[in-house]
Each structure stands twice: as structure tokens, then as C-alpha cells.
A and B are shown apart, each in its own frame.
Chain A
Amino acid sequence: MNSRSDIAIECVGVEYAVNGSRPLLSDLNLSVNRNEVVVLLGRSGSGKTTTLKLINRLLTPTRGQVLVAGKSTLEWDPIRLRRGIGYAVQDVGLFPHYTVEKNVALIPRAEGWEPERIRDRVTEMLTLVGLPYEQYAQRYPHQLSGGQRQRVGLARALASNPPILLMDEPFGALDPLTRAELQREFTQLRKRLGTTVVFVTHDVSEALLLGDRIALLENGKNLGVFTREEFLVSSEEHIRAYLETYRLGSQSLEK
């Protein structure tokens, strides 16, 4: 068992429902250790995105509680909570009227950092995601490719060095080559930064590649959390189904 302080995020008996309709999440339990990558795997509508939004309090649970650093999200000042949590989503959500530099500098500026420190940080972040400052800092999002935009989104999410990073299918809209490239770079990056990551995907190969542990979500419930090894040998019905699609994919390539 982990001691309490090793747990970065904990969902305890979480239910989320919109005005009395069928809950999107029910009795969800999940704990994420410091510095680990937990992948939430599940099909559309299984509650993955809802879970992420409960962590940064874009939503609040209708029952149970979500603890971040041991404190319920309801007790946190939402702004302070969110500034400690990087957020990257599939559509990226870069500000179209801001340059790459201003986008990445968003939270450091909101936090009132010194201009030189911001500039150094932006340079560092852009280098980290493989976009040299001189070449990219003054461009606007519409002047970038999808992969580059996603890199900027990642740089922005990491800019204030948040202890937690939430990623909602960040590579979902990319072509397979760019996606593989970004996945590879992300694993490298993660090793260096040691951030706690909750990563949402419906792609089982991505889950196996990136996750230290994989939480399987189905119909708003957490069916279990598995390490990669446990996942691969599990006899759980849903996992078998996922692994089936995975194997079918690689078999058809071998033929």
C-alpha cells in the first residue's frame, strides 16, 4: 500500500449526473500515484473525459469526492487548483489570436512571472517539444500543422511546470506517423519531467505504450486498474475484447 502522500489524485465513490438523468459516472474509484501515468481507456461515452473534468473541477461530482493532493476539489480555490494542473485536449484549443509564444506563456503570465523568466521558459518549452523558438515563436496557430499545434498545446500545458498533467486524447486527431512520433517523444519527455499524468484514450495500443497503469472505464464505472503486464494476460471480458482488436490489427499487417 502507498502512503497517503504518494497519492496525487484520488476519486472516492464519485458519481456525476446532469440534473437527475442517468449518471455519466457512478461509484468511480481511482487513485493515481505521484509521478505515474494512468491511462483511462474506454469507448466513447464511458466517462473518461468526464473524469478528467472532475479532476480540474470543470465539473463537480454529484456524489463522492475527488481529492487532489489530499484535498477535495471543492475545498480548493478552483483557479489555484487548475494552475497546478496542465490540460491538453484533442482540439488543442490554442488561442487563434495569440502567437505561439503568447499561447505558451499564458499561465506564466497569468501567474505574474517576470518577462525574462517567461521568455526563458517559453524557449525551454518550445525546445522541449521540438519547435525551435526562433522559427516558431512568432507564428500563429493557423500557420502550424496539426502535429505542431498539438506540440504547442503540450508546451503550453507544461509551461508553469504543473505537478499534474491531464491529457484528453491529445494525439487522437493526428495522422498515424505524427501520432507515433509524438507518442515516442511524450514518453521521453515524461521520463525527464516526472509529472503525474492522467491520459485519456480509446486506443488500446496507445494505452499500452504510454500507461504505467491502465484504468478500464465502461459505462461510467471503473472496471479495474491494471499494469501493462496484468492487462496483457487478463481474462477480463472487456480487456479480451480490446486485446482482440489490437492483435487483429497487427496480424492483418503481418499477412
Chain B
Amino acid sequence: MPFFDFVLKHRMEIATLTLEHLRLVLWAMAFALAIGLPLGVLLSRHRKLRGVVLGANNIVQTIPSLALFGLLLPMPWLGARADRLTITALALYALLPIVRNTYTGVSGVDPTILEVATGMGLTPRQVLWQVEVPLATPVILGGVRVAAVITIGVATIAAAIGAGGLGEFIFRGLAMVDNNVILAGAIPAALMALAADGAIGLLQRSLQRPRR
């Protein structure tokens, strides 16, 4: 059967799995952002923590994704549900680029600007929200962009532990030795990654102001 016909015939299933995939990715990104952004800011305040936190993050990154799923499986609460476990693993992968870029972005803000802002009487909170965050945003978005692409890719592995998503097609296709089935999972995943990369990149460029 030609690929196009296969897609037409299975369009409902493709749509369902794409949405499932997207759901896993969005939850994982939400958690990674909720933890990663404050953590990155914290590192810029307490630079001694930097080595420990980024080091730990780096180690997580080196664990092959399938192995990470396996490692998390025996965890009491996490291992109980496949989507819970998947979202945790994906969030762990997404964390490093977000933390690292938040740290880099915030510590890269011109110290003169910070000193004048403080010297004129802005509170630390105002300095963070009015100066550091906006000026670091393009760099932070760079990290979010990388994180999103990684997460979308790694999420295909989720099917191996029964969490669904586009990986379902890929694993099924591998088992059936049917390229159509593999492509029905791989192509939407690739398109999703490209779309995320493009959209965040666009946002990033629109925020980038020419510097002095």
C-alpha cells in the first residue's frame, strides 16, 4: 500500500497519537520550565551551586533514554503509570538546556545596568523582572528551543513502556518491518520538532534587540 493511502486510512489514529505525543511533551516542558527557570536564576545568585547542579544535569543527559525509563520504572509513585514516568524522564532531559541558558542569560546582563538599577532604588525583585529577565529572554528561549526539540524526539521512546505517542507507530513498524508504519510515526514527530524549533526561533528573533 502506498504511504499516502496508509496515512489516509489511519488518519484518526495518527491524529490521536500526535495529540498524545504533544500532551506528553507539553507536560514535560511545563515541569522543566517551572523548575528550570527558577533554578537557573538561583544559580546566577549562588555561583557555587553551579558545578553541582549543572554537573548532575549533565549526568542525566548522558543516560540513554531507554535506560532512564528503565531506571525510573521501579520508583514507587512514578513507576505506577507510564505517562507519569514518561513526563518525568522527558522533563529531566529538558531541564539541562533550560537551566544552563537561564543561568548564562541572567549572568550575562551588563553589570553596570544592574548596579545603576540597584543604585537608583529598584528592589531586587524589580531588578529581576524589569532588567534581568527581559534582557536574558533571548538566551533563555534558545535553551527552551533545544529542550523542546529534544523532548519531542525522546518522547517517541515512551511507546516502549506503553505511554503512547507517535512512538507507537515506530515500534509497531519496526516489529512488522513495515516502513509505512514507521514513517507514519516518524514524519509527524519530525514535523512537530521543526514547528517547535521554528516557532520559538521566531519568537526569539522578535525579542532580540540590537545592542549598543
- Residues of A whose CB lies within 8 Å of any CB of B are 53, 56, 58, 78-87, 89, 91-97, 106-107, 110, 140-142, 156-157, 166
List the 5 closest A-B pairs by CB distance, nearest first. Answer: A93-B116, A82-B121, A83-B121, A87-B119, A91-B112
Q: When the two chains form their complex, are residues A95 and B121 in contact, meaning their CB atoms are under 8 A apart?
A: no
- Taking a contact as CB atoms under 8 Å apart, the answer to whether B212 and A93 are in contact is no
Max chain A CB contacts within 10 Å: which of B118, B120, B130? Answer: B120
Contact of A93 among B115, B123, B209, B210 (CB under 8 A): B115
For B117, B209, B212, the residue with the greatest tally of chain A CB atoms inside 10 Å of its CB is: B212
Asked if B134 is at the interface of the complex by the 8 Å CB criterion, the answer is yes
Number of B residues, CB within 8 Å of A: 21
Partner of B123, one of A56, A79, A89: A79
The answer to whether the Cβ of B211 comes within 8 Å of any Cβ in the partner chain is yes
The reply to whether the CB of B19 lies closer than 8 angstroms to some CB of chain A is: no
- B residues contacting A by CB (< 8 A) are 110, 112-113, 115-123, 126, 130-131, 134-135, 209-212
Majority secondary structure of chain B interface residues (helix, strand, loop or mixed):
helix
List 9 extra interface pairs beyond A87-B119, A95-B131, CB under 8 A: A82-B119, A83-B120, A83-B121, A87-B116, A93-B112, A96-B211, A97-B135, A106-B120, A110-B121
Task: State which of A79, A81, A87, A142 has its C-beta within 8 Å of the C-beta of B210.
Answer: A142
* Pair B120/A157 contact, Cβ less than 8 Å: yes
Taking a contact as CB atoms under 8 Å apart, the answer to whether A96 and B115 are in contact is: no
Bound-state Cα–Cα, A89 to B117, Å = 11
In the assembled complex, the CB of A197 is this many whole angstroms from the nearest CB of chain B, namely 15
B126 touches A110 (CB 8 A): yes
**Chain A hits for B112, CB < 8 A:** 89, 91-93
10 residue pairs from A and B, CB less than 8 Å apart:
A53-B119, A80-B121, A82-B121, A84-B121, A93-B116, A95-B130, A96-B209, A96-B212, A141-B212, A166-B119
Q: A84 vs B86: C-alpha distance in the bound complex, in angstroms?
A: 54
Cα A156 to Cα B120 in complex, Å, equals 9
**A residues near B135, Cβ cutoff 8 Å:** 95-97
Provide the residues of chain A in CB contact with B212, threshold 8 Å.
96, 141-142
Identity of the chain B residue whose Cβ is nearest the Cβ of A53 in the assembled complex? B119
Q: Which residues of B contact A107 (CB under 8 A)?
A: 120-121
| Alpha-carbon gap, A107 to B121, bound state (A) | 8
Q: Which residues of the other chain, A, contact B120 by a CB distance below 8 angstroms?
A: 82-83, 86-87, 106-107, 156-157
Given contacts A79-B123, A93-B113, A110-B126, contact A58 B118 (CB under 8 A): yes
Does B209 contact A97, Cβ atoms closer than 8 Å? yes
CB proximity of B203 to chain A, nearest CB, Å: 15
